[in-house]
Structure 1
Amino acid sequence: MARPHAAALLEDAYTERKAGLLRSRGWVTRIVPSTGYGSTSQLRVFGRVIFTRGRPEDEPEEPTYAARLRAVELETRGWRAFVATPAMEEPVTVRVNERLVTTRTDRGGFVDLVIRGHGLTPGWHHVYLSSPRAETIDVPVLVVGSQVTHGIISDIDDTVLSTSLPRPMIAAWNTFLRSEGARRPVPGMATMYRELLASQPGAPVVYLSTGAWNTAPQLTRFLRRNGYPAGPMLLTDWGPTNTGWFRSGQEHKRAQLHRLARELPNVRWLLVGDDGQHDPRLYTDFATRRPDRVRGIAIRELSAGEQVLSHVIPVATDDIAPAPTEQLEVPVVRAADGYDLRRRVQGLWDEAPRARTLGEYASTVVTDVDDPPDYLVEGPDER
């Protein structure tokens, strides 16, 4: 195995030293939950373990679940989420019904665990995460049934939430200082998602972003407060990795798209993004490789002012380097907000799945097995 990148070694050394100091001062750990998902055959569970002050003497021995959640919210608001010390290599036990599965956190304190043969039926459930120095907390998971054929994969930044990324000062202000209650939702997007899912009650919505895992609790509260359907979030790590100073956001999105296609093979996805970053090209590449997994692509068009805030110039990124959407087998629609997009996606959302021919199936299998892209080859976690 290759030696980890120097940046990762430095970060790990700092984290270990800080964690040792906090332990010596009586700090314990807390589990931060994040919504998971899966099929009837396997489940993907998320969580994070961070250090926290010990319980005050006047606090009840057994605080209520609501109190524990309030404590998690206080420790994951704004800048606190980025200065929290992760518990590296911390043992964690996941309980699914009566089954116990043990694992350890990674170098960022995160848990990303796949559990096979979980025995849960389609729908929403709770699994339980526990750790020796932390209180047990339950985590919501969505099990997608094998008969479900509809699903939504949604970007977050400038698609459901106006963030003005990646301009550094605005991004820092939005992320570190402003509360999720002060941030602005994109008009009509929550309404569109709710109405689409109302006609397909079992359909999942997955929020895919290059944002940091640290912001997951804030984003969850923002989505809930603004009426977005509940769903798992697939985020990434902004810090150093075992291979470099930063993780590639585009590769993260690309890898997660293909992973969802493998894990939920019956679902044809509506891919929703914006033209301020790289969504049109990423979605085009994915739809070209796996047209049978895509129901359609919906792109929110940013205004000229939003484009300037996003990447300095007042034109969309795919106007500079066009994604060949006109060559796709799947439909592509564009509009300025969710209200207009809703009218445009209705037809492709209601469309029945197209049956694959034997030749198409054989071709896809050969491509996936014999010549997989680098991001489809599963390997050790690089955090």
Structure 2
Amino acid sequence: MAIADIARKLEDSFNRRGTVKRVEKGWRPSIIGFTGYGSVTSLHVLGRVVMADPNSKSLFKPLRLPPSAHTVLGTVQEAFEQAQKLSDTAQRGWRQFFTTQVGFLPVTIRAGNKVISTKTDRSGYIDVLVLDHGLEPGWHEVTIEAAAAEPIIAKVLIVRPEARRGMVSDIDDTVMITWLPRMVLAAWNSWVRHTNTRKPVPGMAKFYRELLDDAPDAPVFYLSTGAWNTLPTLDIFLTLNGFPTGPLLLTDWGPTPTSVFRSGQEHKKTQLRNLIITFPDIEWYLIGDDGQHDPLIFDELAREHPRHIAGIAIRQLNPVEQVLSHGMTEAIEDRRSVDDEARHGVPIIYGADGYELLSSLNDQNNRPQTPKN
């Protein structure tokens, strides 16, 4: 039997025993709604079901941003103030990982004019594609119901058909400074640190705002190899530090049919291709860092779909950050912007922070562009 099979069986056994014990203590399934996204024709509804004590506050609900965090600019200050209150009182995040997920539980999704019946996957996740939902562009609420659980409302973003630009950003080392070895980064960020102690990369929020200044309809997505358990505190971090609002596309750390742990690279590649399929008329800005494999992933996507990529921006980590990220003082992938642009025609800029990236962007806008293939 493969190691991945053993790991999967152990995880399933742990969850079954944990569910039984918690039911005996009076616990019930609790639904966590993630931020979904889609077009006017199709919608991804995302969430998870875990066991929770009905006599205490949910581990996630107190940390979720209010609906005003996802609306128009007139309510941004309200969202900021609410996020600050939540951050000031946020419990340490280690409890987020000590959960018992509820697999194969019957679930009902009510989105627009559609009602979809499905089940959670073996890890308790909900990822449902709703077609012809009838929702107009903008932020909406959908209802997620599950057996023996209280229904919840989840936010979803319907992108305007007129949108022609969008942005996908990495999180760790791209918008958030970590200063920790990659091997302990997730545990530290999720189990120990408070939300208000995480530090943004200088100038990055300003860079994002100016990058999208002439594209008010542009959707923004945050793509990370971090686990879904970290979503509430990451959501608050982005709002508190002035980053554009958008869905977070995270992953699960658990075993897969072929591996003990999920591949972060494959997760990013899959989600990027999903966005291209869902929004075929949008050109994407891809933002990442050179501490891991973002340059290679972005280059590969640009070569496959040059007409769907508007530009690539890579934050360059300093030698200390490189060592913490992967153990060497130099980037994993060599800087090959000239060769890359010659291959696929997608402009690439580099910078140590948002201010340098913005300066590079302005310089690039003032020089002739290489046509895309």
TM over 0.5: yes
Deviations 1:337-371 (A, max 9, x none): 112212333587899x9999xxx8xxxxxxxxxxx
Please tell me whether residue 162 in structure 1 is matched to residue 154 in structure 2.
Answer: no
Q: What is the Cα deviation at residue 274 of structure 1?
A: 0.4
Please tell me whether residue 203 in structure 1 is matched to residue 218 in structure 2.
Answer: yes
Please tell me whether residue 79 in structure 1 is matched to residue 94 in structure 2.
Answer: yes
The worse-fitting range, judged by mean Cα deviation, of 27-36 and 269-278 is 27-36
| Residue pair 2:63, 2:233 contacting (<8 A) in 1 also | no
| Residue pair 1:284, 1:324 contacting (<8 A) in 2 also | no
Please tell me whether residue 336 in structure 1 is matched to residue 352 in structure 2.
Answer: yes
**1:136 alignment partner in structure 2:** 151
**1:21 alignment partner in structure 2:** 21
Percent sequence identity over matched residues?
45
Please tell me whether residue 278 in structure 1 is matched to residue 270 in structure 2.
Answer: no
| Residues 133/323 of structure 1: CA separation in 2 closer, same or farther (3 Å cut) | farther
Q: What is the Cα deviation at residue 75 of structure 1?
A: 10
| Residues 86/97 of structure 1: CA separation in 2 closer, same or farther (3 Å cut) | same
Please tell me whether residue 31 in structure 1 is matched to residue 47 in structure 2.
Answer: no
| Residues 257/180 of structure 1: CA separation in 2 closer, same or farther (3 Å cut) | same
Aligned amino acid, residue 23 of structure 1:
V
Q: What is the Cα deviation at residue 136 of structure 1?
A: 2.1
Q: What is the Cα deviation at residue 313 of structure 1?
A: 1.6
| Residues 350/239 of structure 1: CA separation in 2 closer, same or farther (3 Å cut) | farther
- State the SS of the aligned residue for 1:54: coil
| Residue pair 2:175, 2:204 contacting (<8 A) in 1 also | yes
| Residues 209/345 of structure 1: CA separation in 2 closer, same or farther (3 Å cut) | same
**1:188 alignment partner in structure 2:** 203
Aligned amino acid, residue 316 of structure 1:
A
| Residue pair 2:59, 2:96 contacting (<8 A) in 1 also | no
| Residue pair 1:76, 1:217 contacting (<8 A) in 2 also | no
Please tell me whether residue 91 in structure 1 is matched to residue 83 in structure 2.
Answer: no
**1:364 alignment partner in structure 2:** none
Q: What is the Cα deviation at residue 302 of structure 1?
A: 0.9
**1:368 alignment partner in structure 2:** none
Rounded to whole Å, the distance in 2 between the matches of 1:348 and 1:231 is 26
Give me the TM-score of the superposition, normalised by structure 2: 0.84
Rounded to whole Å, the distance in 2 between the matches of 1:324 and 1:97 is 47
**1:7 alignment partner in structure 2:** 7
| Residue pair 2:37, 2:45 contacting (<8 A) in 1 also | yes
Aligned amino acid, residue 295 of structure 2:
P
**2:62 alignment partner in structure 1:** 70
**1:242 alignment partner in structure 2:** 257
**2:308 alignment partner in structure 1:** 293
Rounded to whole Å, the distance in 2 between the matches of 1:266 and 1:142 is 17
Aligned length: 347
Rounded to whole Å, the distance in 2 between the matches of 1:333 and 1:19 is 49
Rounded to whole Å, the distance in 2 between the matches of 1:318 and 1:43 is 35
Rounded to whole Å, the distance in 2 between the matches of 1:241 and 1:322 is 35
| Residue pair 1:165, 1:171 contacting (<8 A) in 2 also | no
Q: 1:175 aligns with which of 185, 190, 212?
A: 190
Q: What is the Cα deviation at residue 145 of structure 1?
A: 2.0
- State the SS of the aligned residue for 1:317: coil
**Structure 2: segments with no counterpart, 5+ residues:** 65-85
The worse-fitting range, judged by mean Cα deviation, of 217-226 and 195-204 is 195-204
| Residues 354/23 of structure 1: CA separation in 2 closer, same or farther (3 Å cut) | farther
Q: What is the Cα deviation at residue 173 of structure 1?
A: 2.1
| Residues 256/22 of structure 1: CA separation in 2 closer, same or farther (3 Å cut) | same
- State the SS of the aligned residue for 1:134: coil
| Residues 347/126 of structure 1: CA separation in 2 closer, same or farther (3 Å cut) | farther
Q: What is the Cα deviation at residue 198 of structure 1?
A: 3.7
Deviations 1:75-128 (A, max 9, x none): 995111211111111222211234321221112211111100011111111111
Rounded to whole Å, the distance in 1 between the matches of 2:30 and 2:366 is 43
Equivalent positions of 1:220-239 (< 5 A) are 220-239=235-254
| Residue pair 1:151, 1:204 contacting (<8 A) in 2 also | yes
| RMSD across aligned positions (CA) | 3.1
- State the SS of the aligned residue for 1:302: coil
| Residues 71/123 of structure 1: CA separation in 2 closer, same or farther (3 Å cut) | closer
Aligned amino acid, residue 30 of structure 2:
R
Q: What is the Cα deviation at residue 26 of structure 1?
A: 0.8
**1:372 alignment partner in structure 2:** none
The worse-fitting range, judged by mean Cα deviation, of 341-350 and 204-213 is 341-350
| Residues 355/131 of structure 1: CA separation in 2 closer, same or farther (3 Å cut) | farther
| Residues 71/228 of structure 1: CA separation in 2 closer, same or farther (3 Å cut) | closer
| Residue pair 1:167, 1:311 contacting (<8 A) in 2 also | yes
Q: What is the Cα deviation at residue 255 of structure 1?
A: 1.4
Equivalent positions of 1:330-369 (< 5 A) are 330-345=346-361
**Structure 1: segments with no counterpart, 5+ residues:** 60-65, 361-383
Aligned amino acid, residue 70 of structure 1:
P
